[in-house]
Amino acid sequence: MHEARRSPRVAPAIAAAALVAGAVFATPGAAFADSTPTPTPTPTASPGPLNDGTVSVQMSPSANGVVTPGAAYSVQVQVTNGTASTLAPGAVEVELDRTRLADDAALSSWLAPADGVTATTVPVGSASMPSVPSGATHSVSVTIDPGAFGLTEWGAYGVSAEVTVAGDVEATSRSAVVWNQGGAPTADPVALVAPITVPVTTSALLSSDELKAYTAPDGVLTAQLDAYADRPVALAIDPRIIASIRVLGTRAPESASAWLARLADVSNDTFALQYGDADLSAQAQAGLPSALTPTSFSWALDASDFASGTVPTTDQLLAWNWTSTGVAWPRDGTVVADDFGFYLASGLETPLIGSSQLTDSSGGEFPGSSALIGDSPVLVSDRAASVAARGSVSDTDEITRGQSIAELSAALAVDAQRSASTGDRGTLIVLDRDSTPPASTDRLFSALESVPWAGTTDFSDLVDSVRSTTASATLVDSAEPAERVDQVRSVLGTIPRLDTFSSVLDDPQLIQGRSRAVALSTLANAWADRPAAFATATSDVVNATAKTLESVQIVDGSSITMVSNQSELPITLANDLPYPVSVVLHAVPSNGRLVVGQTDTPVTLEASSRKSVKIPLEAQVANGQVLLRLQLLAPDGTVLSSPPARQVTVSADWETVGTAVAGGLVVVLFGIGITREIIKRRRRHAAQSAEDEAAQSTAHEEVAE
């Protein structure tokens, strides 16, 4: 008897990198051979060695992990040497744990044991391994004699593969098989869920170019639909994709319109994700009373794009013939008990929670596809089966894919045992939320069809039956990271600010509708695996909001001197929005030296324009400094712009003094003129008198003679 020693299972991406490096020494078909292969050539180093400092191993049990008594069986083992030196020749040994895996917890514990946990195993087959150069991989098939298993009871069992060199274990991998000797339980109905999403972005809608790329023959949306259309899997669809195509009307790319028509024709069950696949848990834990939803797409619609000449409503853009409604699918491991009130307030009556967050009455991981958490019925996705199914569609080589398929067969066997003993029938498998198209789904659906202890069922049937469940479960709170919640709050905080600002528009939804769509896209679940990129994205949204809030403002001006008692002060207003706005220019002086003729001046600013507005001013008797406080207001009084006060120097009494001086000068000049005229007249009168006297004297003299 041996105790299997644990080493980490190499991630599929690492195995894929090794394959790309050209270091695989067995053909893909050999991964599932049922007979001993011919000796493989000595491995050689790959062009791009994978030097991660470890030796790792993957194992792929043949026949989808199903062992039939009396039949030859094999396990394909792949060794990757990530050390800097050559791995010496050794052996690969396959071992079996003869304790049946009775439930999901036992299976999960076997596949990913806690540190220090070991299991009692027996060797069932071995093969020699040549030296493996640094950065190379080597594959070998280990044949297991039909009688080596020594099992007598149908069910799932753990298997492991050890790589040993000179008696030392270099690496270990674990998987599982199903001993199929007969007596299998009745087939347990299995439902699958797969997302239809696109790569993350903060865009409110997908652009025409993005849609064209995503729906091209090699596009992500085409690949997703190719993988899942008309197969036993429910499609969880991001409504942003639907709205983005419809909002373009006749301008939508032909490939996008064809893709949407194809989606409408598939036989799959469907339900809606949040717009942009927005993170429900983050919204709830950030303090929203209910889920954010789109309110309008008026900012993106043009009547000329529609044959009817009439733009569709928001409801029409988002409408779909969903087979299930009210489903909330929060990301695995992010739910807390307080979130359930948020779901109900959002009209989401059927949460879908991962089994890793639920425990049964014994304290173990909850088994089953539905449960009651308090008074709330929930759908429950099976962790072990979901992890295995995700690996089966994302793994890029046959070894790792075969390992995932074997583990899926075992998980379904465990679920069938549970259904038979408890009567709680049904297993729910959810695939990865990532938009990356599956590498292949053929093996997954083939396995589901081939194992007699599992059968497919419609997701909508599970949704319809969830309210009749009586199995109780306890939720183990697992909140979103605090940093992520804070970043989500910063994005959500932009919405009320933009709502208030939007009152400058005749149609506030031109801003409000867009801001909500941007926020929802920014809260996409896929950002959770890219924390640095998410931090940048949220910062960009906050900065863009600040720029929008500054787009309608008073342009800074200089101080002025007012030398007359009445004047008009020109104020320049700017509107950088692509829409006309209605504003009010508010002006108030700091003291009584200055009176504003019109405190509030309504103004209409055209889109992307500037305009000069003149404010009438009147100076009072006193001179001095006055601060003229200016504000640009929305019609409802919201302050849009409040620049520093303008300094006005009032010197209006110079006009009075000047007038008085000028008047005095006029009086003086007029007086001088009058005086001169009087003098002139007096002189003329004196001269005339003298002439008269002379004339009289002459006349007297003539008479005397």
Interatomic CA distance for residues 16 and 563, integer angstroms: 82
The answer to whether 2-179 and 188-478 have equal CATH topology is no
Q: How confident is the model at residue 193 (pLDDT cuts 50, 70, 90)?
A: very high
Interatomic CA distance for residues 333 and 476, integer angstroms: 9
Token pair recorded at residue 400: 């790792």
**What's domain 2-179's superfamily in CATH?**
Immunoglobulins (2.60.40.10)
Interatomic CA distance for residues 547 and 545, integer angstroms: 5
Q: Return all residues near 146 (Cβ < 8 A) that are at least 6 apart.
A: 69, 70, 71, 72, 73
- Please give the distance of CA 304 from its chain centroid, rounded to a whole number: 31
The answer to whether 410 and 101 have CB atoms below 8 angstroms apart is yes
Give the Cβ contact number of residue 420 at 10 Å.
Answer: 14
Amino acid letter, 580: P
Phi, psi of 350 (to 5 degrees): -125, 85
Please report, for residues 160, 228, 288, 339, 550, the alpha-carbon distance to residue 493 in angstroms, rounded to integers and kept in the order given.
52, 38, 11, 20, 16
Which of 132-136, 441-445, 585-589, 622-626 comes out lowest in average pLDDT? 622-626
The answer to whether 121 and 2 have CB atoms below 8 angstroms apart is yes
Token pair recorded at residue 232: 């036993």
Q: Does domain 552-651 have CATH number 3.40.50.970?
A: no
Q: What is residue 506's predicted lDDT score, i.e. its pLDDT?
A: 94
Q: What is the DSSP string of 507-544?
A: STHHHHHHHHHHHHHHTBGGGGG-HHHHHHHHHHHHHH
Which of 238-247, 266-275, 409-418, 593-602 comes out lowest in average pLDDT? 593-602
The answer to whether 594 and 645 have CB atoms below 8 angstroms apart is no
Q: Which CATH number fits domain 188-478: 1.10.287, 2.40.50, 3.90.1280, 3.20.20?
A: 3.20.20
DSSP 287: T
Q: How confident is the model at residue 664 (pLDDT cuts 50, 70, 90)?
A: low
Which of 121-125, 601-605, 682-686 comes out lowest in average pLDDT? 682-686
What are the boundaries of each domain within the chain? 2-179, 188-478, 483-549, 552-651
- Residue 602: HSE in the Cβ half-sphere, 13 Å Cα cutoff: 4
pLDDT tens digit string along 90-108? 999 999 999 999 988 899 8
The answer to whether 67 and 179 have CB atoms below 8 angstroms apart is yes
Which of 177-186, 237-246, 252-261 comes out lowest in average pLDDT? 177-186
CB neighbour burial string for 446-462, b if at least 16 within 10 angstroms, e if fewer: ebbeebebbbbbbbbeb
